[in-house]
C-alpha cells in the first residue's frame, strides 16, 4: 500500500527529479507526486507505473501549482536557468522560484528541499557577477528561507552526467576517449555530483529527518558532492574501468559570459566545495548513502562508452 505522506516533485521527469522519485519510491516512507506539463509523456507513464502520482502543472502558472500541491507534506524543487528578455510566457528563474514557494505556502506544504547552488557574485566578492544561473538560485534560496516554510537547499557540483548530456566525454575513432571542459587543466580540482544517485539520497535523508531535527536542518544549505577530484583523476578512473586510454584536454571557452565565468570561477575555487568532506558527514549523519566515482563509472559510463 502506498504511503499517505506525499512528497511533490517539480522537475520530476528530469535528471534531478527522477533521482528523487526513484529514492522515494524505493524507501516507501512517502509517496512521490510528480508535477509535469505532460502527464502522458513516456517518462510520466513510466514513473506512474512504478507507483508515483502524476499531476499536471506548469511552474509559470501559480494556480496550477497550488492545485497540484494541495495535500503534499513536502516538496522538492528544480528551477531551470533562463536569460532575458523575460515575459509572462518565459519568466526568469527567480520569478518561477518565488512563484513555486508562494504556491507551496498557499497549499500548506510543510517542508521544501530546493536544488540550489552558491551565489557567485557574493562568494567571489563581485569578481564573477555574470553567472545568473547561480545568482538566481541564491535569490530564490533567500526567498525560501524567509517564507516561514521549513526548508533546506542542496548545493550541487558539476553533474557527472554532463559527460553524455553535455558531451564532455567523447569517443574517438581510434577507440580512445577524450574528456574536455573549458578553463580547467587536467590537475585543477572540481566538485562533482552524481545526480542520478546522490540528489535522491540527500533529499530522502532530509525528508526523513526534517520533522525531528528541524532546528538543525531548516534554513541550511547542504553541498551534495560525490567527489572533489581533478578531471585528470576522473579520466584515470574511467580509463581503469573501461581499459581504454582517456585523455583530458581543456576545451575552448563557450563564448557565453554566463557559462565562461562559471567555468573560470569553478576552476579558481576548486569547484566551490573543496572544504566539504566527502561524503558530506552532515548528510551521511542523516542516513544518506552516497555513491562513488568508481560506482558511477561502473554503472553509467561503462554501458555508454564501452564499445
Ligand atoms: N549540468 C550541471 O552541471 C549543473 C550543475 C549545477 C546545477 N545545474 C542546474 O540544474 C538545473 C537543471 O536540472 P535537471 O538537469 O534536473 O533538469 P532537466 O533534466 O532538464 O529537467 C527539467 C525538468 O523541468 C521540468 N519543467 C520544465 N519547464 C517546466 C514548467 N514550465 N513547468 C513545470 N515543469 C517544468 C521538466 O518537466 P516536464 O517536461 O515533464 O514538464 C523536467 O522534469 C538547471 O537549473 C541548472 O542550472 C546544472
> Angle 105-200-162 (CA atoms, 0-180°, nearest 5)?
110
pLDDT at 29: 98
Q: How confident is the model at residue 1 (pLDDT cuts 50, 70, 90)?
A: confident
Non-local CB neighbours of 38 within 8 Å, separated by 6+ positions: 13, 44, 56
Q: Please say if the pLDDT value at position 307 is more than 90.
A: no
252 in the Ramachandran plot: left (φ > 0), alpha (ψ -120 to 50) or beta? beta
Looking at residues 96-100, what average pLDDT do you find? 98
Q: Which of 9, 10, 11 to mutate to test the pocket of ligand 1 (most atoms within 8 A of CB)?
A: 11
Q: Which residues line ligand 1 (CB under 6 A)?
A: 11-17, 36-38, 41, 58-60, 78-81, 117, 133, 156, 158-159, 162
Nearest to 222 by CA among 182, 266, 279, 176: 279
Residue pLDDT, tens place only, 122-156 = 999 999 999 999 999 999 999 999 999 999 999 99
Lowest mean per-residue pLDDT among 26-35, 80-89, 219-228: 80-89
Would you call 231 helix, strand, or coil by DSSP?
helix
Q: What's 84's DSSP letter?
A: S
pLDDT at 84: 87
pLDDT at 22: 98
pLDDT at 120: 98
Nearest CA to ligand 1 atom 32: 58
Q: Which of 14, 45, 156 to mutate to test the pocket of ligand 1 (most atoms within 8 A of CB)?
A: 14
Q: What's 279's DSSP letter?
A: S
* Number of neighbours of residue 224 by Cβ within 10 angstroms: 26
As beta bridge partners, residue 222 has 154
Per the CB < 8 A criterion, the answer to whether 241 and 300 are in contact is: no
Residue 248: enclosing H or E segment and its boundaries? strand 246-251
Q: In what order do the strands lie in the sheet with 227-230?
A: 158-159, 189-193, 227-230
pLDDT at 3: 92
Would you call 28 helix, strand, or coil by DSSP?
coil
Dist CA 297 CA 164 (whole Å): 12
**In the chain, how many H helices and how many E strands?**
14, 13
Which pTM value belongs to this model? 0.98
pLDDT at 83: 86
Per the CB < 8 A criterion, the answer to whether 65 and 103 are in contact is: yes
Amino acid at each position: 500500500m502506498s504511503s499517505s505522506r506525499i512528497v511533490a516533485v517539480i522537475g520530476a521527469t528530469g535528471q534531478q527529479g527522477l533521482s528523487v522519485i526513484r529514492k522515494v519510491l524505493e524507501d516507501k516512507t512517502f509517496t512521490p507526486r510528480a508535477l509535469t506539463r505532460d502527464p502522458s509523456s513516456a517518462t510520466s507513464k513510466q514513473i506512474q507505473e512504478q507507483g508515483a502520482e502524476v499531476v499536471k502543472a506548469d511552474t509559470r502558472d501559480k494556480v496550477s501549482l497550488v492545485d497540484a500541491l494541495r495535500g503534499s507534506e513536502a516538496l522538492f524543487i528544480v528551477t531551470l536557468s533562463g536569460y532575458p528578455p523575460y515575459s509572462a510566457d518565459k519568466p526568469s528563474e527567480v520569478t518561477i522560484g518565488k512563484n513555486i514557494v508562494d504556491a507551496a505556502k498557499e497549499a500548506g506544504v510543510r517542508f521544501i528541499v530546493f536544488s540550489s547552488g552558491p551565489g557567485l557574485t557574493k562568494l567571489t566578492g563581485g569578481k564573477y557577477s555574470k553567472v545568473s544561473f547561480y545568482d538566481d538560485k541564491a535569490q530564490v534560496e533567500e526567498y525560501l528561507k524567509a517564507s516561514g516554510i521549513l526548508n533546506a537547499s542542496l548545493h550541487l557540483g558539476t553533474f557527472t552526467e554532463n559527460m553524455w548530456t553535455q558531451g564532455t566525454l567523447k569517443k574517438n575513432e581510434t577507440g580512445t576517449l577524450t574528456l574536455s571542459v573549458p578553463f580547467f587543466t587536467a590537475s585543477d580540482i572540481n566538485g562533482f555530483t552524481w545526480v542520478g544517485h546522490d540528489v535522491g539520497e540527500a533529499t530522502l535523508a532530509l525528508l526523513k529527518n526534517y520533522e525531528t531535527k528541524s532546528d538543525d536542518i531548516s534554513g541550511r544549505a547542504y553541498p551534495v558532492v560525490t567527489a572533489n577530484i581533478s578531471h585528470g583523476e576522473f579520466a584515470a578512473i574511467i580509463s581503469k574501468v573501461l581499459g581504454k586510454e582517456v585523455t583530458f584536454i581543456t576545451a575552448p571557452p563557450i563564448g557565453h559570459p554566463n557559462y565562461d565565468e562559471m567555468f573560470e570561477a569553478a576552476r579558481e575555487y576548486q569547484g566551490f566545495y573543496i572544504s566539504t568532506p566527502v561524503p558530506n558527514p552532515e548528510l551521511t549523519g542523516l542516513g544518506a548513502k552516497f555513491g562513488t566515482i568508481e560506482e558511477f563509472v561502473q554503472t553509467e559510463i561503462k554501458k555508454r562508452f564501452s564499445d
